[in-house]
Amino acid sequence: MPFKFIKKIFSIAILILSFGVILYKFPQLPRPLYFDEVESAKLALLLDKSPYVPYSPLMTGHATLFFYIILLSFKLFGISRFALRLPSALFAILSCLFLFLIIQKVFKNPLFSLFLAMICVTLQWFITFARISFEASFLLFLELIAIYFLLLFLEKKYIFLLIIVGIFTGLAYNSYPPGRIFFIVPLIALLINKVDKRSIIICVGTFLLIILPLQTYLLFHPDIRIKQQFFIVDSRIPSEKKEKILMDNIAKTGLMLIVKGNADDQFVYNKQAAISPILTLFLLIGFLICLLNMNNFYNALFLVYFFVAFLPSLFTYSGAIMLRTYTAIPSLIYFIGLAILC
């Protein structure tokens, strides 16, 4: 059976699986709506009554891209819980597809890639934010598309693929705040591969063009969310206290990942760790393999992605929250896959 045909079949399979898992009893579960979901709906409806703005100070301050998508969903399906949560669910389903495609490019094994994508789909961590109206699944979707086309560019060297990378990296910047630093991942990947300066300039230029409206707004208005959450930029806190908060966040984030969920995190199911004990074993082995063999491009790529995904958790108040580290999931899946194959 031709390789491309097998890949198409497995792509359809992961879409069907993720569709079934994420949309099962959707949108009744979870019930009722979270407070932030209600606020998201209010913000989306308010955007309909005003000219386009890239940022809103409402809801403690957010870029508006995701909320315009919610507004579109309301216009298509009416104002309902279904329409409010549908965008997150659809982005999560598509994220599963692109995760499969990325893993397949890395491991060159469609069946094994399907298996790893299935692990992602069945993670409670992944499912939780796929079924509620938060920006996390949207950000993950944007980042995975950027990484997929980055890998495609490194394989085929078509310059238009880098333009797509720049577009989706810019859109990630315009979504959930952790997406503001995602550009580090494709930039380091291009530098590691010694891509010519012209190509890097095209990618970076596209990125800057996409973020221009939001960044122009932020030049003249404060980013409320960043100011409230990132203690590292708070001049009122002495450096000694900042160091203590950072050390506490590192410890709590590590525990949240593999030992026990943060008691202050409302999204943790029964205070469970993000990863099950069996997967934790493979995760730690795979992580160690990456550290010991960073000359391998994929190891370096997913290590950088992993640390970038965890930075928001480390430098914010009450940082050990699964929502803020959601985009670490692809790296964890890669580490697990690496350990299984070793």
The SS3 assignment for 262 reads: coil
Chain segment 134-185, per-residue pLDDT in tens: 899 999 999 999 999 999 999 999 999 999 999 999 999 999 888 999 999 9
Residue 31: band (very low, low, confident or very high) from pLDDT cuts 50, 70, 90 = confident
Q: For the packed helices 136-156 and 159-173, what is the interaxial angle rounded to 10 degrees?
A: 160
- Cα distance between residue 272 and residue 134, in whole Å: 21
CA distance linking residue 79 with residue 76, whole number of Å: 9
Q: Which backbone phi and psi does 55 adopt, to 5 degrees?
A: -150, 145
**d(Cα 67, Cα 47) in Å, to the nearest integer?**
8
End-to-end CA distance of the chain: 27
Q: Are 34 and 132 in contact (CB under 8 A)?
A: yes
What gap in Å lies between CA 84 and CA 71, rounded to an integer?
Answer: 8
Cis peptide before 32 (omega within 30 of 0): yes
Torsion sign (Cα): 278, 249, 124, 304: negative
pTM exceeds cut of 0.75: yes
Q: Which H/E stretch holds residue 37? A: helix 35-47
Q: Are 303 and 290 in contact (CB under 8 A)?
A: yes
Could you read off the pLDDT of 256-277 as tens digits, one per residue?
Answer: 888 776 656 666 655 777 788 8
Note the pLDDT tens digit of each residue in 11-21: 899 999 999 99
Which residues on adjacent β-strands are paired with residue 63? 55
Q: Where are the beta strands (DSSP E) in the chain?
A: 55-56, 62-63
